[in-house]
Every structure is written in structure tokens, then in C-alpha cells.
Amino acid sequence: MKTHPTYIFVLFGLLSLLTTAFTEPTVAPVDHSAYDRLLKKYVNEKGLVNYKGFKSEGKALNDYLAVLSKNPPAASWSKNEQMAYWINAYNAYTIRLILDHYPVKSIKDIGSKIKIPFVTTPWAAKFFTIGGEKMSLDNIEHGILRKKFNDPRIHFALVCASISCPRLRNEAYMTDKLDAQLDDQGRDFLNNPSKNKIGKDEAQLSNYFNWYKGDWTKNGQSVVKWVNKYSNTKISDKTDIEFLDYNWNLNEQ
């Protein structure tokens, strides 16, 4: 039995339509330049924030957050494009949360103001939407960044609006320099005596190395190896390590 050429053309046409229908369209990564401008204007070199200034440009911040909300990362984005998006989203929504309750002395004070059943911390509150899904800061940190990307350097970049947090960069995280930015954050954090006090025989480390110990010890790594990667003062397995109390006061100028 011969197959009529017309049937072949029809078949190929249908296959082409089906392929097109089930192929995710190419979505351009988000432009973070508007957020970058705000950070340069209202965050100083020490990572302290001028929240009053940010509040005066609330619309500009909201416009950027609206772009994030409508443009979640696509599968076609590179790892660095996705990581930069989520780190910027976490930090920008944290700023928005502070501004919504400003003035506050600590982000932890916001927890008592949340009137949502079973939600007792600001990190668990689903106060924003991305891609049509209600989300919380915990969703970004634990459900996406820690779970999907397996890169402990995110802990040097996520800023929970507190003094003991890493420095909030006065620039947005950008795809083409993300690795350099994360490494710079690591060096800054480990060599800042207000965050970590490191000596050869004794070291008082940020509680990040205690709370997220599982992240630092994956793939044959250790807390000691991560500290030595960025710290000017090297430690060893024999170094007596303690963890500093966490200062939750607002990271305000």
C-alpha cells in the first residue's frame, strides 16, 4: 500500500504543531538594573540601609518587585541567572517587608504583628507572589536556593535585615559576575570581626556555620575548609570553635 504524499505533509505539520505547543518559549532573564540603582543609592559600603530613603522610593521598589512577580525563572535560564534572580528576590522582598512595618528595631519584631494562623515568624509569612504562587522568604531560602542549587555561598548573600547578617551589597547580583560577587561576600563576611572572630587556636564563628552545618559539610567539605577558603587567618581541625550570639537589631544606617 502506497502512502499518499499529502498524508505525509499533514503528518509532519501536526508533529510540528505539537512540538511547538509543548516547547517552553524562550523567556529573557529579568533586568535587575532598577534594583541595582536603589541599592547604590540607599545602601552604604558597610551594608547598612537607609530605610527612610528606600521608603521614599517605594514605587520604584514595588515596580521592580512586580517584574519579579510576573517573570519567574524559566528552565531555559542558566544556573547563575536563576540564582541571581532568587538572591535578589529574597533581599528585595526582605526590604519590602521592613518598609511595610517601618519603623522597627528588629525584623523579629514583625513576627508579633503577623495576623496569619500558624505563622509566627516573618520568614514563614507568604506575603508576595511569584509566577502566580504565594511565597515566603523561607520558600526562597530553604525550598529553592538551598534545595536546588547546593551552593553554601548563598548564606553569604542572603540578608535578613539584621546586624549579624552578611553585608547587603550596594549592588544587585548579576549573572555575569555572580561567582565573583559570592566569593567577595565570603571574604568580607569571614574577615569582618563583627561577624566572625578568627584566631589560629580559637575561633568565634557566626551561627550560620552552626545552623547550616549540613550545607557546609556536603561533598567532602567542612566548616574548617570553608573558613580557610576565605579567611585571612587559617584554622585547623584542632582550633577551638565557638559560635557568636546573633545580633538581630535592624541593619539600619
Residue 53 domain boundaries: 28-195
Q: What is the mean pLDDT of residues 151-164?
A: 99
In a domain, 159, yes or no: yes
pLDDT of residue 146: 98
114 to 25, 55, 108, 125: CA distances (angstroms): 39, 20, 11, 8
pLDDT of residue 4: 58
Q: What percent of the chain has pLDDT over 70?
A: 87
In a domain, 219, yes or no: no
196 to 92, 202, 221, 232, 239: CA distances (angstroms): 25, 11, 19, 12, 14
Encode pLDDT of 47-101 as tens digits: 999 999 999 999 999 999 999 999 999 999 999 999 999 999 999 999 999 999 9
The band of 120, judged by pLDDT with boundaries at 50, 70 and 90, is confident
pLDDT of residue 23: 45
pLDDT of residue 13: 53
In a domain, 227, yes or no: no
Given a cut of 90, whether residue 164 has pLDDT beyond it is: yes
Given a cut of 80, whether residue 21 has pLDDT beyond it is: no
21 or 155, higher pLDDT:
155
The band of 149, judged by pLDDT with boundaries at 50, 70 and 90, is very high
pLDDT of residue 16: 52
Task: Please state the domain count of the chain.
Answer: 1
Grouping H, G, I as helix, E, B as strand and the rest as coil, residue 204 is strand
In a domain, 249, yes or no: no
pLDDT of residue 112: 62
pLDDT of residue 3: 53
The band of 143, judged by pLDDT with boundaries at 50, 70 and 90, is very high
Conformational region of residue 236, where left means phi above 0, alpha means psi within -120 to 50, and beta covers everything else: beta
In a domain, 81, yes or no: yes
Conformational region of residue 131, where left means phi above 0, alpha means psi within -120 to 50, and beta covers everything else: left
Residue in the block written with cell 519567574: 72
In a domain, 82, yes or no: yes
**Cell, residue 72:** 519567574
pLDDT of residue 27: 84
pLDDT of residue 22: 46
In a domain, 243, yes or no: no
In a domain, 131, yes or no: yes
DSSP per residue over 39-53, as a string? HHHHB-TT--B-HHH
